[in-house]
Amino acid sequence: MTEFRVPSGGRIDRATTYRFTFGGTSYTGHPGDTLASALLAHGVHATGTSIALGRPRGIGAAWAEDPGGLVQIEEPFPEPMLLATTVELVDGLSARGIPGQGRLADVPDSARYDAKHAHADLLVVGAGPAGLVAALTAARAGARVVLVDEQSEPGGALLGSADRVDRGPALDWVAAATAELATFPDVLHLQRTTAFGHYDDGFVLALERRTDHFGSAAPRHRSRQRVWRIRAGHVLVAAGAHERPVVFCDNDRPGIMLAASARTFLHRYGVLAGRDAVVFTTDDGAYAAAVDLADAGVRVHAVVDAREVAPLHWRAECERRGIPVRAGQVVAGTEGTDRVSAALVAGPDGGEPERIACDLLLVSGGWNPAVHLFSQARGRLHHDDGLGAFVPGETLPGTSVAGSAAGVFDLDGCLRDGARGALGALAELGIDARGATPPPVADSDPERTPPRVLWRVPGDERTQFVDIQRDATVADIARAVGAGMRGVEHVKRYTTIGTAHDQGKTSGVIAAGITAELLGVPVGQLGTTTFRPPYTPVAFAALAGRNRGALFDPERVTAVHDWHVARGAVFEDVGQWKRPRYYPLPGEDMDAAVLRECAAVRGGVGILDGSTLGKIDVQGPDAPVLLDRLYTNMMSTLKVGMVRYGVLCGATGWCSTTAPCCAPPRTGTSLHHHRRRREGARLDGGVAADRVARPAGAPHVGHRAVGHVPGGRAAVPGRDRRGLPRRRRLEGASASWRGGTRTCPASRCGSPASASRASSPTRSTSTPGTRRPCGTGSSRRASRTASPRTAPRPCTCCARRRPTRSSGRTPTAP
């Protein structure tokens, strides 16, 4: 049994022991622990040092709002800047504290990441009391529900409390609700899944962590993380609330912790965060922590309540346990080196503070509803002066907020608010929810005494830390205001407060409050900074998913790619296409190879694999009219089997592209590739809709291979007026052989039929009726014996021949 672990209780499996190392020292923990709870069980609070001042930093909260406990994971896979509070403990874990920043892995990440889509009527974010009731209510009404929660098990705040629901332990109700949700086929319930971004029209991105909690036993086929792309008719945010601290001098020492987090460490992990505690609060909530910790054996030396009058109920509870309550006093500072050793408690009038020795200082300055996802959807916030918190200030279509995220801070209210939120969403979706069972009831909380909004205790501003990760103090805010900053966004950028790993989960609202104090305006008028995605850090690897390496951008190769490779082509990237650039012989550089190729084409003939260029097939009765509208020259007079080059213009007269237009049995134009998409869209309807009576269809035919045959001896087969074959010499012109879009009919190939034979047109006058798919039948033999006029020809991709390099001819024309 480790020193600070209580003998029983908690959500951990004491029968199994995990071994892990932190900073080179070996420790033990249990399944169900986080790295933070396992360290606290050994009395380790300090994890690292701060980035600018090198001051000791430690675990300050129990989940993602912790600004202090950053660690570097070394094993099983190196990862920087993770919170000890959110790393689930696995056997063999190796980690260390960091000086404010981590180190990226220098080995390749072999894990897989993927993405998945989900569609739902209702997305519920958060499986705490409000979220569970909402999901159950909607599921019972027959709605398709997605429920996501970022922790390892459902329950939310109930996991860290001793609350009761329906006259039984709250976690029994959580287990029953979870089991019932699992019976609905249209409910998707994901744990370890953080909804980190909320976008337009009910689109939410969530990150699921799928393998890390297995440690070395993780299944290899399973992706490590998955981005869920959820599209929901309604998004119900039940994300809970973050406790916020109060700023005082030297408030950054390890051993200073949010009060409810210490309660969570006790109830969920069976860990005492210290032995001698002082509690500093402005609200009722921290009394529960003080009482629970005292019951578990912690010596609570004082509850320092900044309010003039301490709440009656809690005062009595404290008296029963012998805990002194100091109403109207504040913690003005702390002592200690790498761990807090004493709290300095001062009266309302200042004066000499009293020193109370402690190894744990719990702080509670009230609660900030986790309105991030509501704010990301452009929901406006308003400051509730009674609660001392920013809460959703308007109703948005398709988005609602329930539970403590909406400023409801008692359990019974959260349960009722979850049901209310779900019924409202179902009504908006048009799903009948009459006959819904009422939500469970919880023991009502003792009457709440209004909290006092206290952002900071007066003192030396230079040691009053607002953003503990950025080492930004009250003095920094004062300097920003002194420099003329009047808005929270400006102060944020001037001081860097809220720009660290935690994105200001604890510091953002405090910074706004202190700025408002310095400016002499109400904090509600000043507002908060904009909440922006992601809610918690997301690895680029997860966002990239499978789109890495060769899959990042598709590589397109032409039908005769293998032919080019076999002849030693050097490729260049043309968009997604691999286009052969030149064909060096051994010892040749690019200039020599290009010169040799040019000479060969001038004196003979060459083939350009034009497949990488865009092709647009224009069909329909008015296709010639459409082409006449696009080209400056007349295309409707083009005879079948002929090709004509032309310039395409818009109404403004600007040349949009130049492209040959061919009239094979079907009309088609070939357009240069980078304009294909735009010109295709123009052909689709831009011109046709207005000016062509019978619109023409114009699908892209990017899969079709094209060969252009330039060269001094290139010839176009055709027929003269008497219908006899003839040869026509082309002088320096580029032509597509026989219309350029002749396709090898084999669908798997799609290369130009007989393009390799274009230099001997008398032997390649195959007609569409006689073409035969390559690889079907013995076409090679048939071509030797049958009449040249009718012989089917293999396409170039199948006619693998060694280039006759010694002959000095271009390797593109074997």
Partner 1 sequence: MQLIECPWCGPREEVEFHYGGQAHVAYPADPQALPDEQWAQYLFFRDNPKGAFAERWSHAAGCRRWFNAVRDTATYRFHATYRPDQPRPEIS
Point out which span in 502-510, 588-596, 684-692, 742-750 binds partner 1 (CB under 8 A). Answer: 684-692
Least distance (Å) between residue 229 CB and partner 1: 9
Least distance (Å) between residue 685 CB and partner 1: 4
Q: Which of 74, 109, 443, 684 binds partner 1 (CB under 8 A)?
A: 684
Q: Please report which residue ranges of 611-672 form alpha helices under DSSP H.
A: 623-630
Least distance (Å) between residue 503 CB and partner 1: 22
Give Cβ neighbours of residue 185 (< 8 Å, ≥ 6 apart).
none
Q: Which of 438, 621, 685, 777 binds partner 1 (CB under 8 A)?
A: 685
Q: Which is nearer to partner 1, 205 or 330 (CB)?
A: 205
Point out which span in 31-39, 199-207, 407-415, 539-547 binds partner 1 (CB under 8 A). Answer: 199-207
* Sign of the torsion formed by the C-alpha atoms of 803, 808, 811 and 813: negative
- Return the axis-axis angle of helices 170-182 and 129-140, rounded to nearest 10°: 30
Least distance (Å) between residue 507 CB and partner 1: 31
Task: Specify the residue for token string 């296709």.
Answer: 623
Q: Are 422 and 236 in contact (CB under 8 A)?
A: yes
- What 3-state DSSP class applies to 75? strand
Q: Which is nearer to partner 1, 540 or 654 (CB)?
A: 654
Cα 556 to Cα 298, 545, 702, distances in angstroms: 68, 21, 10
Separation between Cα atoms, residue 582 and residue 370, nearest integer Å: 60
Least distance (Å) between residue 629 CB and partner 1: 10
Q: Which is nearer to partner 1, 44 or 688 (CB)?
A: 688
Q: Which is nearer to partner 1, 157 or 698 (CB)?
A: 698
For 616, the token pair is 């647009």
Separation between Cα atoms, residue 261 and residue 243, nearest integer Å: 8
Q: Which of 106, 308, 690, 720 binds partner 1 (CB under 8 A)?
A: 690
- Strand 70-75 vs strand 79-83: parallel, antiparallel, or unpaired? antiparallel
Q: Is 554 in the site for partner 1 (CB under 8 A)?
A: no
Q: How many residues bind partner 1 (CB under 8 A)?
A: 16
- What 3-state DSSP class applies to 249? strand
Q: Which is nearer to partner 1, 36 or 696 (CB)?
A: 696
Least distance (Å) between residue 122 CB and partner 1: 17
Least distance (Å) between residue 652 CB and partner 1: 5
Least distance (Å) between residue 647 CB and partner 1: 18
Point out which span in 425-433, 544-552, 575-583, 678-686 binds partner 1 (CB under 8 A). Answer: 678-686
**Element at 130 (helix H, strand E):** helix 129-140
The contact mask relative to partner 1 for 760-789 (x = CB under 8 A, - = no) is ------------------------------
Q: Which is nearer to partner 1, 550 or 651 (CB)?
A: 651
Q: Are 614 and 671 in contact (CB under 8 A)?
A: yes
Point out which span in 423-431, 541-549, 555-563, 687-695 binds partner 1 (CB under 8 A). Answer: 687-695
Give Cβ neighbours of residue 435 (< 8 Å, ≥ 6 apart).
none
Point out which span in 119-127, 689-697, 752-760, 801-809 binds partner 1 (CB under 8 A). Answer: 689-697
Q: Are 759 and 604 in contact (CB under 8 A)?
A: yes
Q: Which of 16, 103, 105, 199 binds partner 1 (CB under 8 A)?
A: 199
Q: Is 203 in the site for partner 1 (CB under 8 A)?
A: yes
Q: Which is nearer to partner 1, 201 or 489 (CB)?
A: 201
* CB-neighbour burial class of residue 110 (10 A; exposed 0-12, middle 13-18, buried 19+): exposed
Q: Which of 380, 677, 694, 729 binds partner 1 (CB under 8 A)?
A: 677
Q: Are 414 and 165 in contact (CB under 8 A)?
A: no
Least distance (Å) between residue 202 CB and partner 1: 8
Q: Pick from 234, 253, 235: which is nearest to 245 by CA?
A: 253
Q: Which residues pair with 363 in a beta bridge?
A: 258, 280
Separation between Cα atoms, residue 413 and residue 399, nearest integer Å: 20
Least distance (Å) between residue 676 CB and partner 1: 12
Q: Which of 681, 725, 727, 776 binds partner 1 (CB under 8 A)?
A: 681
End-to-end CA distance of the chain: 81
Q: Which is nearer to partner 1, 13 or 201 (CB)?
A: 201
Give Cβ neighbours of residue 20 (< 8 Å, ≥ 6 apart).
26, 27, 28, 29, 35, 38, 89, 90, 91, 92, 93, 94, 95
φ/ψ (deg, to 5) at 752? -65, 130
Q: Which residues pair with 639 in a beta bridge?
A: none
Q: Which of 691, 703, 719, 727 binds partner 1 (CB under 8 A)?
A: 691
Q: Is 571 in the site for partner 1 (CB under 8 A)?
A: no
- Return the axis-axis angle of helices 285-295 and 259-269, rounded to nearest 10°: 40
Q: Which is nearer to partner 1, 197 or 707 (CB)?
A: 197
Q: Which of 13, 186, 201, 295 binds partner 1 (CB under 8 A)?
A: 201
Within 213-252, which residues bind partner 1 (CB under 8 A)? 231
For 607, the token pair is 């083939």
Within 648-667, which residues bind partner 1 (CB under 8 A)? 651-652
Least distance (Å) between residue 204 CB and partner 1: 10
Q: Is 489 in the site for partner 1 (CB under 8 A)?
A: no
Point out which span in 90-98, 182-190, 683-691, 776-784 binds partner 1 (CB under 8 A). Answer: 683-691
Q: Is 686 in the site for partner 1 (CB under 8 A)?
A: yes
For 178, the token pair is 């979870």
Q: Pick from 389, 495, 503: which is nearest to 67 by CA?
A: 503
Point out which span in 198-206, 251-259, 302-310, 362-370 binds partner 1 (CB under 8 A). Answer: 198-206
Q: Which is nearer to partner 1, 54 or 685 (CB)?
A: 685
Least distance (Å) between residue 546 CB and partner 1: 18
For 325, the token pair is 């309550």
Cα 232 to Cα 143, 147, 429, 580, 709, distances in angstroms: 11, 11, 10, 47, 55
Separation between Cα atoms, residue 643 and residue 398, nearest integer Å: 56
Footprint on this chain of partner 1 (rule: CB under 8 A): 199-201, 203, 231, 651-652, 677, 681, 684-686, 689-691, 699
